[in-house]
Structure 1
Amino acid sequence: MPLVTLSEVLGPALAHGHAVAGVVCLGWEDARAYVRAAEAERAPVILQAGPGARAHMPIPVWGAMFRALAEAASVPVVAHLDHGCDAADCAAAIEVGFSSVMFDGSKLPLADNIARTRAIAEMAHAAGVSCEGEIGEVGYDGGAASHGTDPAEAGRFARETGVDAMAVSVGNVHLQQAAGAGLDEARLRAIEAVTNVPLVIHGGSGVPHAQRRALAHGSAICKFNIGTELRMAFGAALRGALDADPDAFDRIAILRATEAPLEAAARRVIAGLR
């Protein structure tokens, strides 16, 4: 089926009490495995191209690849620009057919973040594309610290930007390789009290699976971004394939061997949010 927008999958998720996986893609093999996993679970999926992926492969290629996967899929697929740096980034994604863009203005002063996010949301909506924004800073494991989302600022951000989804910082951290202490549910509930915009958790790999499932069913979190957890599954599968045949050299054959394990890992992620 054709690509769908972020709003088209998050609206039903919010209404019916589940969340959708935003899976971080780095190439053809993992993106294809994620769509197959979504089909097996009969669930929508959000394919995401972040800054690292865009540095590795040009954005028109990502757009064409995501569209091809969506058109052959039996479930809704969103093509999402993750962590767009500026309006030009988002405009480039819209031009090549992405159905959703995220502008990350989280490090900006509040007024600047609101103004720039609002302009990008207006541009996206004029093109029939969804827009995600971020308020509060989500840090990195072993790197930049997080700054938790202020609920009052989140309410203002949602009202004044017109975003379709809002990423928040409530104890989540990027690049965690194991489950952390869990999300700050008191802060989350305070944010929910001031807005009805679907919420997004970046760094979802570090959220304990039981809490991920509980919040997917019982909160306004409608999208969990999952990257590290699946990249680790890919790395393990790749090492296993090479260990099993040390003489292997054919790139296609080697990478094809990663798809079944990666699909299985992605099915567990998707099923855990339903």
Structure 2
Amino acid sequence: MTIATMRQLLDAAEVGRYAVAGLVVLGWEDAVAFVEAADETGLPIILQAGPGCRRYTPIPVLARMFRHLADQARVPIACHIDHATTLEECLEGIEHGFTSVMIDGSSLPLADNIALTQRVVSAACPAGVSVEGEVGFVGYAEGRGSRFTAPEEASRFTAETGIDALAISVGNVHLQQEKTDGVNFAALGAVEAATTVPLVMHGASGIPPTTRKLLAHQHRVRKFNIGTELRQAFGTALRKSLADQPSSFDRIELLKPTIAALRAAARDAITGIGPATLS
């Protein structure tokens, strides 16, 4: 199947009134399971290489792995660099074949965030690569707190940068292990009224499936980043595999059961935000 850009997938989702899952990859087993789940559902996904993944595996290796799997898939797959904080990280991703990058300048003053994002867009656009930016700050469950996205800042940011998608902070939180009802719909509505681009919800593992479905079908959230719940599925399956095979030292055999667990978890996540006829 043709490898897609994030914008291509989100434009189709906008027409169909659904959302696309941005699935956080940490290794080979994750990526294989996610693509298999996408094929099973018949729905596109975005394979995401975040900062932790990139610290462990070099970008050139991840790019080849992602693109190899995408080439084998029966559905469109976007290959995405998530939470890059420098132009250089984005340029490396673009150079090695990622079709989408997120430049995260959310910790910067708005003017600096705009300037950095403009530079990334200027480099990505000629290469046919999509760009996601962030306004406000999505906090962490056991770390720095959130700062909600101000509608007027979101409006200025999208107008001046030309980004393809905007990550927003409206009560969603990174690394949330328990489901909460933290999404502030009034804050979301204000951002929707001030912008026209597809919106992205990071920290989607902390959002109940019913709420994710509502956000996908009745609002303009077109991408959900999902990582923590998939890591939980991986950890549970690995612990069981180790207990079931106490004498094994073969990492391939020990890790193999995690693929099925990840595939099932990813399948649920993908269909839950997919077209209303499937979810």
Is TM-score (shorter-chain normalized) higher than 0.5?
Answer: yes
Give the aligned partner of residue 90 of structure 1. Answer: 90
In the alignment, the residues of structure 1 paired with residue 218 and residue 121 of structure 2 have an alpha-carbon distance, to the nearest angstrom, of 27
- Structure 2 counterpart of 1:230, which letter? L
Alignment of 1:72-83 (within 5 A): 72-83=72-83
Shift of 1:115: 1.0
State the partner residue of 2:41.
41
Tell me which residue corresponds to 1:107. Answer: 107
Aligned counterpart, 2:234: 234
The letter for the 1-side match of 2:68 is A
For 1:2-41, what aligned pairs fall within 5 Å after superposition? 2-41=2-41
Superposed displacement of residue 182, structure 1: 2.7
Query: Which structure 1 residue ranges, 5 or more long, are not aligned?
Result: none
Runs ≥4 residues deviating over 3 A: none
Partner deviation per Cα, 1:192-245 (whole Å, 9 max, x = no partner): 111110000110100111110111111110000000000000000000111111
Q: Assess if the C-alpha contact under 8 Å between 2:245 and 2:254 holds in 1.
A: no
| Preserved contact between residue 132 and residue 165 of structure 1 (Cα < 8 Å) | yes
Contact 1:182 1:211 in 2 (8 A): no
Q: Aligned letter for 2:133?
A: G
Q: Which residue in 2 is equivalent to 1:222?
A: 222
Distance 2:189 2:12 in 1: 20
Larger mean CA deviation between 252-261 and 31-40 belongs to 252-261
2-side partners of 1:75 and 1:249: how far apart? 36
Residue 195 of structure 2 aligns with an amino acid whose one-letter code is T
Identity %: 54
CA distance in 2, matches of 1:156, 1:220: 18
The 5 A counterparts of 1:165-244 are 165-244=165-244
1:165-212 per-position Cα deviation (integer Å, ceiling 9, x unaligned): 000000000000011223111111111111110000110100111110
**Does 2:267 match 1:259?**
no
- Once residues 21 and 83 of structure 1 are traced to their aligned partners in structure 2, the CA distance between those partners, rounded to angstroms, is 16
User: Quick check: 2:49–2:62 contact (8 Å CA) kept in 1?
Assistant: yes
The answer to whether the Cα contact below 8 Å between 2:176 and 2:203 also exists between their aligned partners in 1 is: yes
| 1:68 match | 68
Q: Which amino acid aligns with 1:38?
A: A
- Counterpart CA distance in 2 for 1:17 and 1:247 is 50
Amino acid at match of 2:154: A
Gaps of 5+ in 2: 275-279
SS in 1 for 2:194: coil
Whether the 8 Å CA contact 1:50–1:81 is kept in 2: the answer is yes
Q: What is the distance in 1 between the residues matched to 2:256 and 2:98?
A: 26
In the TM superposition, what is the alpha-carbon distance from 1:15 to its structure 2 partner?
Answer: 1.7
In structure 2, C-alpha distance between the alignment counterparts of 1:122 and 1:170, rounded to whole Å: 28
Q: Provide Cα deviations, 1:28-61, integer angstroms capped at 9, x if missing partner.
A: 1110000000111100000000000000010000
Secondary structure of 1:81's partner? Answer: strand
Say if 1:103 and 1:134, in contact at 8 Å, map to a contact too: yes
Query: Do the aligned partners of 2:25 and 2:47 also contact (CA within 8 Å) in 1?
Result: yes
Q: 2:118 — aligned with what?
A: 118
Preserved contact between residue 23 and residue 227 of structure 1 (Cα < 8 Å): yes
Q: Distance in 2 between matches of 1:94 and 1:87?
A: 11
Q: Which moved more, 1:248-257 or 1:217-226?
A: 248-257
Which amino acid counterpart does residue 232 of structure 2 have in structure 1? M
Looking at structure 2, the residues matched to 180 and 235 of structure 1 have their Cα atoms a distance apart, in angstroms, of 21
**Contact preservation (8 Å) 1:30, 1:259:** yes
Query: Is the CA contact 1:2–1:67 (under 8 Å) kept in the aligned structure 2?
Result: no
* Worse overlay, 253-262 or 87-96: 253-262
